[in-house]
Structure 1
Amino acid sequence: MNDAVAPVQASALEPTNSLSVETVLSVRHWNEHLFSFTITRPASFRFRSGEFVMIGLPGENGKPLLRAYSVASPAYAEELEFLSIKVPDGPLTSKLQQIQVGDGIYLGRKPTGTLVADALIPGRRLFLLSTGTGLAPWLSIIRDPDTYDRFEQIVVVHSVRRVSDLAYRETLESLLADDPLVDEQAKAQLSYIPTVTREPFHTSGRIEKLMTDGILFQGKIGDPARFDPEHDRMMLCGSMAMIKETAAMLDGFGFTEGSNAKPGEYVIERAFVG
């Protein structure tokens, strides 16, 4: 880890028209490459499950240094949670990975994004496909009661390189057993499929391989054991390579990409992949 940086007291930061100043409430380091944190939530902050917002710290020139982060907490939570990688030389993450409880942090006032249910045509099965920190928006979506009303089955797929990269694994394996709002619905409707590509694990291989091998249809996911654009809906978040290859596969299956303006059978976050 880099040399320690001085803490940023919330009182030392100045809010702007587009940014509020919040306080770090908790930090969890999953391993040397991955961490999550929670911050205070302004009373006026509203978002749809799956949206992202700008997060930041003061830069070297004193101006806010900002990056887009998907909100991992449910829309009803009193605090906001985020999942981040650690980039040793990253302009923001080299500092962000060292935040501690009580530190100040910038939060954008206007969340946005296309990884939302409103950008999908109604369907029966919802597949949430992710690599790495692309899991974050799914953590919000699967704790939203409306998700279970919209879809009969929800499948979270998380592909990582190492077993220790499976953040929130216990929570997902328990099918949100401790969630007071959706625990019963999740038990009946939610499936979690983790896959590891560079270490031994009960499921291995990239998402694209799992799609072609039929692994994603095992367990309680049920028939049909193929992707059906009439009933299946997909959300993709993670590496650019995964998104491009998977989107191409879905196009070949007859799926159309959706947006807030024109819903479709699958969505990606254009703000992240360009």
Structure 2
Amino acid sequence: MSVTVAVSAPLEPSASLSVEKVLSVKHWNEHLFSFTISRPASFRFRSGEFVMIGLQGDNGKPLLRAYSVASPAYAEELEFLSIKVEDGPLTSKLQQIKEGDDIYLGRKPTGTLVTDALKPGRRLFLLGTGTGLAPWMSIIRDPDVYDLFNHVIVVHSVRRVSDLAYHDVLEAKLAEDPLVDGAAAEQLHYVPTVTREDFHTRDRIDVLIKDGRLFKDAAADPAKFDPVHDRIMLCGSMAMIKETAELLDSLGFTEGSNAHPGDYVIERAFVG
């Protein structure tokens, strides 16, 4: 008796998609993983932008989703951070990728989580929950950001300690990154917080803002948001973004865009 094994057709590039190789995969825990892929010579992006990533769907057509690029604009490889969803149309397949596999990459990166969408300032706050850390990993590894701001504060809120992707790299202030290690040692601040397990900081971002702990190690003068000098990016849960954006609006901050730079930005492609 013979057994027929279904074999997926090879991925085919198109006008909007290239086919790249998976170079590495790191599983942080059962809910979170990151991976790197090859970068086409023609692929250009600004640190903080997102692009479409995908695999072949069950219907034989590309199954795509927007992912923030976690690597800086100068990197030779492209890095992404993803959750694992057991029955997710794409992530159920994506979490199984391994080195050498093919993957779709969109040809046109875009987004508003870029310094071009912000007015000049002194402090840059990067507020993220979960995989909302990804664009911050791109931005803080870009040397230009340290010329634009005196202090760069990465705030990452997760449910469990094991969800703190890149924790050791951030705690070390990018010490092994030769392009930014010197600047990051002086200007980068990391504020991790865990909401459902024991940790030295165990509150949501809104609580840290209200009680001032967000500013403790962030050149805390002033120990509050200042629309004159502070610039803010938001990425992650819709609840956090909505609540924080409303707070910023009430304080006199204005939302920015690529066409009209402002005091804070969110990625509207993700929040609807």
TM-score range, shorter chain: over 0.9
8 Å Cα contact 1:8-1:103 kept in structure 2 = no
Cα–Cα, structure 1 residues 273 and 142, in superposed 2: closer, same or farther, change >3 Å?
same
Shift of 1:219: 2.3
Match of 2:252 among 254, 259, 262: 254
2:243 is matched with 245
Shift of 1:204: 1.0
1:150 is matched with 148
What is the CA–CA distance in structure 2 between the aligned matches of 1:8 and 1:68, rounded to whole Å? 23
8 Å Cα contact 2:154-2:190 kept in structure 1 = yes
What is the CA–CA distance in structure 2 between the aligned matches of 1:250 and 1:6, rounded to whole Å? 53
Instruction: List alignment gaps of at least 5 residues for structure 1.
Output: none
Matched residue of 2:157: which SS? strand
2:69 is matched with 71
8 Å Cα contact 1:7-1:99 kept in structure 2 = no
What is the CA–CA distance in structure 2 between the aligned matches of 1:180 and 1:39, rounded to whole Å? 22
What is the CA–CA distance in structure 2 between the aligned matches of 1:268 and 1:7, rounded to whole Å? 41
8 Å Cα contact 2:153-2:218 kept in structure 1 = no
Alignment of 1:76-87 (within 5 A): 76-87=74-85
1:194 is matched with 192
Instruction: List alignment gaps of at least 5 residues for structure 2.
Output: none
Query: 1:54-82 deviations in whole A, cap 9, x for unaligned?
Result: 00000111110000000000111110000
Shift of 1:221: 1.9
1:141 is matched with 139
1:213 is matched with 211
Shift of 1:92: 0.1
Residue-pair matches, total: 268
Shift of 1:217: 1.1
8 Å Cα contact 2:193-2:202 kept in structure 1 = yes
2:58 is matched with 60
**TM-score scaled by length of structure 2:** 0.97
Q: Which AA in structure 1 matches 2:118? A: L
1:122 is matched with 120
What is the CA–CA distance in structure 1 between the aligned matches of 2:130 and 2:8, rounded to whole Å? 28
2:165 is matched with 167
> Between the two proteins, what is the percent identity of the paired residues?
78
RMSD over aligned Cα atoms: 1.3
Shift of 1:270: 0.2
8 Å Cα contact 1:127-1:233 kept in structure 2 = yes
Query: 1:141-186 deviations in whole A, cap 9, x for unaligned?
Result: 0000000000000000000000000000000000000001000000
What is the CA–CA distance in structure 1 between the aligned matches of 2:112 and 2:11, rounded to whole Å? 30
What is the CA–CA distance in structure 2 between the aligned matches of 1:260 and 1:6, rounded to whole Å? 46
8 Å Cα contact 1:7-1:103 kept in structure 2 = no
Shift of 1:233: 0.2
Match of 1:110 among 89, 108, 111: 108
Matched residue of 2:54: which SS? strand
Runs of 4+ in structure 1 over 4 Å off: 5-9
Q: Which AA in structure 1 matches 2:151? A: Q
**TM-score scaled by length of structure 1:** 0.96
Cα–Cα, structure 1 residues 30 and 183, in superposed 2: closer, same or farther, change >3 Å?
same
What is the CA–CA distance in structure 2 between the aligned matches of 1:13 and 1:218, rounded to whole Å? 49
What is the CA–CA distance in structure 2 between the aligned matches of 1:76 and 1:272, rounded to whole Å? 24
